[in-house]
């Protein structure tokens, strides 16, 4: 019962099955020590993430994958620790989000830089993936502002995401990170990363198109209601 209080109702597939079982136990262990704050754990996550990015940049992919996993593990621990200890804060949420972005895109760029030496196509695919992901994030942000400004009905909120237990069956950002950063390293197939990056870029482009369509449809409905 305790675990349910600190776990999200729905989360990324990889988070639920590959990280949370260990993160929950680690969070409860660290909660015994008052000097260990959630923000300190976030800083540990940032440090490990930067080491991962540097490792990928110099071609040490095994270390890069290992340090990324550890970074994400502590990233999952900080929020759970905050809920256990009652130390959740707005600054902590902002700091956590900032670290998530810093770690992810630092590793992306580290992989892209190193790939130039053996497979430039991976570098170009990584840049395409980054652009398509940022485009999707921008559209989602803009859609939220439009909904708030025009008070349109958010039809897409009625769409339920299929789940298996707590795990989303539609890939989340974290799932793509695991597929891009860890999987090709574990199976020792660098070219697999090229394939995953292309699929990921297409995935985010399609999501951008769908959300743009929903946004335009909502705006038309809002204008029709105001005109009638």
Which tens digits make up the pLDDT trace of 132-170?
999 999 998 887 777 666 555 455 555 567 888 889 988
Tally helices (H) and strands (E) across the chain. 10, 2
Residue 71 maps to which CATH number?
1.20.120.1760
d(CA 179, CA 70): 16
User: Which H/E stretch holds residue 163?
Assistant: strand 163-164
Nearest to 71, CA basis, from 36, 46, 102, 97? 46
pTM to 2 decimal places: 0.89
Name the domain count of the chain: 1
What does the pLDDT look like over 63-77, one tens digit per residue?
Answer: 999 999 999 999 999
Residues linked to residue 163 through DSSP beta bridges, in sequence order: 168
- For 6, the domain range is 2-227
Q: How far apart are CA 39 and CA 45, in angstroms?
A: 10
């Amino acid at each position: 019962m305790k675990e349910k209080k600190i776990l999200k109702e729905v989360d990324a597939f990889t988070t639920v099955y590959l990280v949370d079982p260990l993160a929950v136990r680690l969070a409860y262990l660290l909660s015994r020590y008052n000097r260990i704050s959630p923000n300190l754990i976030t800083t540990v996550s940032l440090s490990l993430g930067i080491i991962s990015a540097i490792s990928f940049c110099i071609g040490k992919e095994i270390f890069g994958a290992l340090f990324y996993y550890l970074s994400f593990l502590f990233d999952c621990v900080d929020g759970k620790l905050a809920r256990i200890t009652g130390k959740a804060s707005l600054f902590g949420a902002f700091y956590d989000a900032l670290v998530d972005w810093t770690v992810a895109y630092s590793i992306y760029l580290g992989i892209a830089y190193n790939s130039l030496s053996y497979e430039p196509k991976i570098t170009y695919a990584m840049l395409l993936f980054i652009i398509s992901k940022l485009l999707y994030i921008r559209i989602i942000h803009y859609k939220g502002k439009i909904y708030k400004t025009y008070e349109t009905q958010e039809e897409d909120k009625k769409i339920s995401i299929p789940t298996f237990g707590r795990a989303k069956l539609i890939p989340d950002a974290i799932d793509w990170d695991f597929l891009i950063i860890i999987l090709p390293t574990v199976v020792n197939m660098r070219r697999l990363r090229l394939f995953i990056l292309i699929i990921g870029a297409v995935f985010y482009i399609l999501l951008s198109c769908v959300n743009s369509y929903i946004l335009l449809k909502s705006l038309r409905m809002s204008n029709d209601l105001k005109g009638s």
